[in-house]
Structure 1
Amino acid sequence: MGRQPIVRSGRELSGPEITRYARHVLIPGVGLEGQERLVAAKVLVVGAGGLGSPALLYLAAAGVGTIGIVDTDVVDLTNLHRQVIHSEADIGRPKTESAEAAVHRVNPHVSVIRHDVRLDSRNALEVIKDYDVVVDGSDNFPTRYLVGDACVMLGKPHVWGSILRFDGQVSVWWAGHGPCYRCVFPQPPPPGSVPSCAEGGVLGVLCAAIGSVQSTEAIKLLLGIGEPLVGRLLVHDALAQTWDTLTVRADPDCPVCGTHPSVIELIDYVEFCGVPGAAAAGEEPVPTVTVREAADALAATDPPLLVDVRGEQERAIAAIPGAVPIHLDLFRSGAAFAGLPRDRRILIHCKVGGRSAEAARLALRAGFADVASVDGGMLAWIEQIDPAQTPY
């Protein structure tokens, strides 16, 4: 059963537009009137990455008249196996600029609004307020909670997707019609407990599966057709090729959309979600060394112990010679400490420094006195010390 269309009226299409969208116009439930609504619609896509790529391309092809793109990143070689809106020629280019060009190649009649800003509690409401639907392709918890809360406060439907390795999830959060993001995920996971795609990897084609569902949901909401994923969480396992549907409900005690909300304005979402390796209140920050300092120390006659907390797959791509592999999970469980020397300096590294900072803090809490995290991690080592190795 459909709902009222979010876009109530459109504009008359030209003859060439009717030809372009003819296969839509032929569909009962869309028709000429529905296509006119799509042309009048405004959709904001948060993130021009893995999920944003298929969403942007299909929304543009469908004729959504105005598409906003939020991103501050630039195109990197590691993006290209999944972020199909960009090409090798775009490396180093702002993602919003590259995405805008790709959208216009698909459909030159679409108006693109670039938001080259990092969404935060100061600007999110202003960015989101003029759009009909928000498609959330963000890849971090602070932005997901920020967008979710902002959509509640503005009454906007929040078409959310998430991917990691071979698994994906998608839903439509819409307070007043069903649960919001915080109803189902009231608290973020412990800092560092869920790897990012940069740490854990992601199957590139999974982005197409989840991003295309997000595009479909956005179009259904705009037109008021079908049954949107409000109150349902769609879970995809690409290895098993299964799609499971979980029923989710609004929480009357939700701090954002509940009966007596306690969050009535946007907060500091980085602080809310925590930062891996961050110091607790009143606690000293983790000692760090630069990769140059680490290299000099390792070349000395009495070198420190270098510990690599990354996974086996990462170490297979690039590694610092002599580093001892001890996964971060062993620091979290405490199992790592039995094998670490207490009378020798310990340097810990990961890919960029977040996981090593967490491991160093745990070691310090366990009573190890001389521990430091290698700032910038493996990527900094490759850039400054050993450029013959492969960045990832």
Structure 2
Amino acid sequence: MNTKDRYNRQIILPEIGDSGQDKFSKAKVLVVGAGGLGASILPYLAAAGVGEIGIMDDDVIEISNLHRQVIYKSSAVGKYKVDEAKLMLNELNPTIKVNAIAEKLFGNNAIELFEKYDIIVDATDNIAIKYLINDVCIITNKPMVYGSIFRFQGQVSVFNYQNGPTYRCLYPDENTQSLNCEDAGVIGISVGIIGMLQANEVIKMILETGQVLNGKILVYNILNNEQQKYDFEKNANVVINKQTFEEKYTIIENLVEEILAKEVLDEINNNEVLFLDVRNEDEIPKINFKNGNQIPLMNLRSEIKKLNPNQTIYVFCQSGIRSKIAVELLQKHQFKNIKSIAGGALALNKLLKEEKIKV
């Protein structure tokens, strides 16, 4: 079967043709996240003939994923999502190149990775990672195709496209947190629709046709089929360069020691240990350890005297980004026995549920 047979129905579109198909074959797209959004985005990019697709996710498939992450089979539970996604895409279209990257995105691996691709797609449900993706896209001058879900409502936009507005222009408050699918709940249709809208933005950018959601955010509600489009502008005060990026991510990540949530469970009733929650007070899930204390990161410097620098302290935030900043701050004030809990409150809450531990 030749290329024209595979792509005939889209090649005959005047907006695509042979030249458009050639653009598809030369395009390189990185999708960060192989969950619900990724499971909807990836098949359409592969089927369209996008020449090289990277899939980045360090998670494994769980039975609770299958109602919305529809490219995975029940027999694949426990396997890495990126490996199973690659198998599926290769079966769908063996003519393209698929890169499975079973890693978590960090400041020290993101820039080199992003530079290898033309378009970056945010298919995550983690606010801190969205800011990281945005900042790396600014550094590497790549467009970021954004998608997010909250229950029955989703959002889609394209940031940093042709020097347009960025994620920070729309959402300047990095300390704002929202519930992920695990905590808020989600129906598969929501991620399916929003993921396909994201894939549509990728396709328009590759083909250089249509109107890209640049400086616009599309809000879609599946319960009433209503959608609105809002304009937003570039904020000149948002400045991200390599120096500020390294100070925020790379240096902190290299200096801060992390510990896995499962490694600290035995310490939750140890009075000689302190669990320090640096999230804002309104963030959930609530985790109230008997030997815990909550000091939001923004207040940590002014309230640092409330802490004992000789005590063993495990710091956590929502997902593990702000806790690293907190650890670095405490280290500068001569705190020695201090570690950041990898994955933060989300990882702790998941583990507590699995082990059926009440706190």
**TM-score, length of structure 2 as denominator length:** 0.73
- The answer to whether the 8 Å contact 1:161/1:168 transfers is yes
Partner of 2:36: 50
Match of 2:69 among 83, 92, 95: 83
Q: For the Cα contact (< 8 Å) 2:108–2:249, is it kept in 1?
A: no
| 1:184 maps to amino acid | L
Q: Distance in 1 between matches of 2:106 and 2:153?
A: 28
Which residue is 1:36 aligned to? 22
Where do 1:171-182 residues align within 5 Å?
A: 171-174=157-160, 176-182=162-168
Paired with 1:378 and 1:38, the residues of 2 have a C-alpha distance of: 40
CA drift at 1:220 = 0.6
Could you tell me which residue of structure 1 aligns to residue 259 of structure 2?
none
CA distance in 1, matches of 2:7, 2:240: 39
Confirm or deny that 1:356 pairs with 2:267: no
The 1:290/1:156 distance shift into structure 2, 3 A limit, reads same
Matched, 1:92 2:78: yes
Rg: which structure is higher? 1
User: Aligned to 1:205, what secondary structure does the other structure show?
Assistant: helix
1:195 to 171, 176, 179: 179
Distance 1:143 1:377 in 2: 19
Q: Which whole-Å deviations, capped at 9, do the CAs of 1:321-358 have from their partners, x for residues lacking one?
A: xxxxxxxx9x859xxxxxxxxxxxxxxxx9xxx52148
Q: Equivalent residue for 2:321?
A: none
Contact 1:152 1:175 in 2 (8 A): no
d(CA) in 2 for partners of 1:40, 1:266: 35
Residue 249 of structure 2 aligns with an amino acid whose one-letter code is D
**Could you tell me how far apart the structure 1 residues matched to 2:130 and 2:265 are?**
32
Question: In the alignment, is the contact (CA less than 8 A) between 2:161 and 2:214 conserved in 1?
Answer: no
Q: Residues 377, 51 of structure 1: CA spacing in aligned structure 2 closer, same or farther, 3 A cutoff?
A: closer
Deviation at 1:20, TM superposition (A): 0.6
Shift of 1:35: 0.4
Q: Which amino acid aligns with 2:66?
A: L
Q: Which amino acid aligns with 2:64?
A: T
Inter-partner Cα distance in structure 1 for 2:214 and 2:2: 35
SS at match of 1:225: coil
Instruction: Summarize the Cα distance change of 1:266–1:179 in structure 2 as closer, same or farther, 3 Å threshold.
Output: farther
2: distance between equivalents of 1:165 and 1:45?
A: 22
Change (3 A) 1:108 1:165: same
Q: Who is 1:213 aligned against?
A: 197
Taking the aligned partners of 2:248 and 2:267, their CA distance within structure 1 comes to 35
Deviation at 1:85, TM superposition (A): 1.5
Q: Does 1:267 align with 2:248?
A: yes
- Structure 2 Cα separation of the partners of residues 135 and 157 of structure 1: 8
**8 Å contact 1:291–1:376 — kept in the other structure?**
no
Contact 1:332 1:362 in 2 (8 A): no
Change (3 A) 1:356 1:292: closer
Q: Would you say 1:72 and 2:58 are equivalent positions?
A: yes
- Unmatched 5+ stretches in structure 2: 254-263, 271-279, 296-302, 304-344
Q: How has the CA–CA distance of structure 1 residues 28 and 219 changed in structure 2, closer, same or farther, with 3 Å as cutoff?
A: same
Q: 1:182 touches 1:256 (CA, 8 Å); kept in 2?
A: no
Which residues of 2 match residues 295-334 of structure 1 at below 5 A?
A: 332=282
Change (3 A) 1:262 1:255: farther
**1:235 matched to 2:219:** yes
Aligned-pair identity (%)? 35
Runs of 4+ off more than 2 Å: 261-269, 288-294, 357-363, 374-386
Q: Which residue of 2 aligns with 1:160?
A: 146
Per-residue deviation at 1:380? 3.8
Does the C-alpha gap of structure 1 residues 35 and 119 become closer, same or farther in structure 2, counting only changes over 3 Å? Answer: same
Which one is further off, 58-67 or 110-119? 110-119
Deviation, 1:202, is 1.1
* Cα distance in 1, alignment partners of residues 47 and 247 from structure 2: 34
Contact 2:135 2:245 in 1 (8 A): no
Structure 1 counterpart of 2:327: none
Partner Cα separation in structure 1 for residue 162 and residue 348 of structure 2? 44
Which whole-Å CA distance do the structure 2 matches of 1:110 and 1:81 have between them? 27
CA-CA distance at 1:121 after TM superposition: 0.7
Cα distance, 1:263 vs structure 2:
3.4
* Contact kept? 2:50, 2:96, Cα under 8 Å: yes
Which aligned pairs between 1:136-155 and structure 2 lie closer than 5 A?
A: 136-155=122-141
Q: 3-state SS of the aligned residue for 2:36?
A: coil
Return the alpha-carbon distance in structure 1 between the equivalents of residues 106 and 129 of structure 2.
8
| Unmatched runs of 5 consecutive residues or more in structure 1 | 1-14, 273-287, 295-328, 334-349, 366-373, 387-392
What are the within-5 Å matches in structure 2 for residues 282-293 of structure 1? 290=266
Give, in angstroms, the shift of residue 262 of structure 1.
Answer: 8.0
Q: CA RMSD in A?
A: 3.4
Note the C-alpha offset of 1:377.
5.2
- Contact kept in structure 2, 1:163 and 1:207, CA below 8 Å: yes
Q: Which residue of 1 aligns with 2:309?
A: none
Could you tell me how far 1:267 is from its partner in structure 2?
Answer: 2.2
- 1:106 is displaced (CA, Å) by 1.2
User: Is it true that 1:113 corresponds to 2:99 in the alignment?
Assistant: yes
Alpha carbons of 1:159 and 1:358: their partners in 2 closer, same or farther (altered >3 Å)?
farther
Q: For structure 1, which segment, 52-61 or 193-202, has the greater mean C-alpha deviation from structure 2 after superposition?
A: 193-202
In structure 2, do the counterparts of structure 1 residues 47 and 293 end up closer, same or farther at CA, with 3 Å as the change threshold?
same
CA distance in 2, matches of 1:66, 1:245: 31
**In 2: Cα distance, 1:99 partner to 1:150 partner:** 24
Q: 1:224 aligns with which of 184, 208, 226?
A: 208
